[in-house]
């Protein structure tokens, strides 16, 4: 057993994490790829140690291989491992040209014609795939609600999904550090965000009308994911970069099956469908529509 380290003051420090061997790292790579379609590059080895060591200590696992065996046998622990390794950061109105495209071109057209072109009239369905802590779906909610008023009969339904149950629980709270207010255009901030008071003054929260537009579901883009129906807009940005080409092609095909023929797929700025042989046409860089 490794000795517990102590500071000179006598305070007890946590024991050093076990070493992660190349064989163990390969096992974790293969596990994550099999379960989520995400390939962890060798550069992620330090991340694996950093994100899993505390859980090993909590469970009393003597090695990463012992922990991996436990995750393979325990579905709840499997989800927890994926939660730890497959999350990504985001912020409000990330890649603003997408929101400008909606606000300046797509939504005025829908509003002018009184429908989205899907045959569903004034019902708008949106899927935010890989929603992380909620900034993307709530950015979409602000833009859609602002340009498609409820008073005119527009119904907005945003499905926000992620692989991580822990991250989804945070997103459901619709609550963020107030520093993130700087990312939100002032008209939207004033209309839809509430500043905490007293002990909550360091936080802000989406108001009830905005929260009512967004629902959450755990979805693994690497399998038949239980998402039902079709959508006018699918946002899957800065998610596919973690997939290898084969997994990326399968995930894109699943996303496209959930698009209305007049729908649009939005990807991240560093993502492309080139070489995937997909049945889409580009409307602008990283925005695609199904081919007729």
Identify whether residues 110 and 252 lie together within a single domain: yes
Asked whether residue 6 is assigned to any structural domain, the reply reads no
Q: Does residue 146 sit within a domain?
A: yes
- Of the candidates 36, 61, 85, which is a domain's last residue? 85
Q: What is the mean pLDDT of residues 268-288?
A: 83
Reply yes or no on whether the pLDDT at 10 is more than 60.
no
Pick 197 or 216 by higher pLDDT: 216
Residues 106 and 66 in one domain: no
What DSSP assignment string belongs to 238-278? Answer: SSGGGB-HHHHHHHHHHHHHTEEEEEEEEE-TT---TTTT-
Contact 37/86 with Cβ under 8 angstroms?
Answer: no
158 and 56 inside one domain: no
Output the domain CATH number for residue 151: 3.40.50.150
Output 171 or 166, whichever has higher pLDDT: 171
| Token pair listed for 152 | 């005119």
Kindly tell me the burial class for residue 134, based on how many C-beta atoms sit within 10 Å of its own C-beta (0-12, 13-18, 19 or more). buried
Sign of the C-alpha dihedral computed for residues 217, 223, 224 and 229 taken in this order: positive
73 with 100, same domain? no
What is the total count of domains within the chain?
2
Can you give the residue range of the structural domain that contains 53? 22-85
Q: Which two tokens stand for residue 50?
A: 């950093």
pLDDT at 209: 96
Q: Is residue 17 part of a domain?
A: no
Task: Please state whether the predicted TM-score (pTM) of the whole model is above 0.85.
Answer: no
Task: Please give the pLDDT value at position 161.
Answer: 96
Mean per-residue pLDDT over the chain, rounded: 88
Please pick, among 51, 80, 211, 218, the residue that the annotation labels catalytic.
51
Q: Is the pLDDT of residue 9 over 50?
A: no
Helices (H), the chain: 22-36, 45-59, 64-73, 75-85, 96-101, 107-113, 135-147, 165-173, 186-192, 208-211, 245-257
123 and 214 inside one domain: yes
Shared domain check, 81 and 102: no
Is the pLDDT score of 1 beyond 70?
no
Judge if 100 and 236 occupy the same domain: yes
The answer to whether residue 108 is domain-embedded is: yes
Can you give the pLDDT at residue 11? Answer: 46
Examine the domain organization and report whether 178 and 248 are in the same domain.
yes
- Specify the CATH number for the domain of residue 44: 1.10.155.10
162 catalytic per annotation: yes
* Residue 82 confidence class, pLDDT cut points 50, 70, 90: confident
Q: Which of 83, 94, 145, 162 is catalytic?
A: 162
Q: Is 123 a catalytic residue?
A: no
Give the tens place of pLDDT for each residue, 61-76: 999 999 999 999 988 8
Task: Examine the domain organization and report whether 238 and 186 are in the same domain.
Answer: yes
* Mean pLDDT, residues 12-38 taken together: 81
Q: Note whether 141 and 254 are same-domain residues.
A: yes
Q: Same domain for 80 and 100?
A: no
Q: What proportion of the chain, given as a percentage, has pLDDT over 70?
A: 91
């Amino acid at each position: 057993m490794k000795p517990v380290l102590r500071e000179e003051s006598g305070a007890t420090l946590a024991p050093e994490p076990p070493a992660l061997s190349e064989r163990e790292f390969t096992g974790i790579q293969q596990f994550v790829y099999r379960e989520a379609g995400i390939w962890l590059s060798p550069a992620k080895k330090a991340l694996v140690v950093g994100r899993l060591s505390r859980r090993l200590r909590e469970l009393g696992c003597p090695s990463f291989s012992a922990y991996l065996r436990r995750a393979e046998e325990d579905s709840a622990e499997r989800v927890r491992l994926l939660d730890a390794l497959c999350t990504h950061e985001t912020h409000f109105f990330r890649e603003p040209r997408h929101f400008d495209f909606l606000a300046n071109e797509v939504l005025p057209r829908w509003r002018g014609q009184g429908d989205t072109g899907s045959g569903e009239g004034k019902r708008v369905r949106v899927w935010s795939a890989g929603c992380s802590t909620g900034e993307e779906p709530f950015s979409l909610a602000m833009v859609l609600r602002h340009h498609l008023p409820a008073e005119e009969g527009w119904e907005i339904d945003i499905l926000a999904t992620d692989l991580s149950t822990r991250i989804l629980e945070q997103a459901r709270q619709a609550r963020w550090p107030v520093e993130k207010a700087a990312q939100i255009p002032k008209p939207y901030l004033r209309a839809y965000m509430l500043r905490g008071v007293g002990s909550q003054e360091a936080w802000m929260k989406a108001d009830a009308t905005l929260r009512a537009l967004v629902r959450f579901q755990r979805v693994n883009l690497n399998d038949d994911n239980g998402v039902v129906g079709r959508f006018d807009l699918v946002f899957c940005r800065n998610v596919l970069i973690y997939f290898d080409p084969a997994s990326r092609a399968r995930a894109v095909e699943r996303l496209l099956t959930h698009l209305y023929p007049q729908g649009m797929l939005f990807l991240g700025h560093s993502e492309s469908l080139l070489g995937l042989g997909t049945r889409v046409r580009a409307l602008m860089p990283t925005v695609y529509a199904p081919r007729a």
